[in-house]
Amino acid sequence: MIAIELLEKYGALRKSFEKNAILFEEGNLPTHYYQIISGEVKMNNYNDDGREFIQGIFYNDQGFGEPPLFIDQLYPANAVAVVDSEIIYLPKNNFIKLLEENPTISIQMIGDFARRLFYKSIMAAEISTQEPEHRVLTFIDYCIEHLDFEKDENGYLINFTRQQIGDLTGLRVETVIRTIKSLEKKGSLKIINRKVYR
């Protein structure tokens, strides 16, 4: 979202994280702005039974964990590297200065926040009221529209595991597996070499 050169101009540093490394933990006070150079990061929580709930997954050029940074609140979730990732991070004071001196970046960030809130609103309604097939298709269609999923002769490749789809829609992985098979029979999805296409 923010050009690497601009972040570095304001004092940002780069760091590599191995798969499953924790970048920050739920309950910590935010001190930096984080953005992905390469890799994938998930924001997650665990319930009392130890079940993971994924708040969101972020990819190249996306920032994550910013809302608490603006309101001096503790992180409501953990940030974990899904794959080996390179992250650039900028101290909070430098980040605020960057935004003050570059209002176009501020407008872009507001747009990104609005998209995330829109997604959360859609998924909150889906999780509370809709059947699994509807939840899964709504989630997939939203991701196709807002993420850079590849399209080939089979359709859009859904770049999430069944477990991730479950964690992002509030469904058990077994339910996701059954739901995807049912949607394949109905022609809404394709399964080719265990990969899901829309």
Residues 19 and 41 sit within 8 Å (Cβ to Cβ)? no
Fold of 130-197: Arc Repressor Mutant, subunit A (1.10.10)
Q: How far apart are the first and last CA of the chain?
A: 27
Among 90, 23, 35, which Cα is nearest to 61's? 35
DSSP string of 27-67, one letter each residue: TPPP-EEEEEEES-EEEEEE-TT--EEEEEEE-TT-EESHH
Find the helix packing angle between 103-129 and 162-169, rounded to 10°.
90
The structure tokens listed for 80 are 């974990």
Could you say which architecture CATH assigns to the domain 4-116? Sandwich (2.60)
Domain range summary for the chain, segments of one domain joined by +: 4-116, 130-197
Q: What is the pTM of this model?
A: 0.71
**pLDDT in single tens digits along all 198 residues of the chain:** 899 999 999 999 999 999 999 999 999 999 999 999 999 999 998 887 788 888 888 999 999 999 999 998 999 999 999 999 999 999 999 999 999 999 999 999 998 888 888 877 777 776 667 789 988 998 898 888 877 788 889 999 998 889 889 888 888 899 999 999 999 999 999 999 989 999
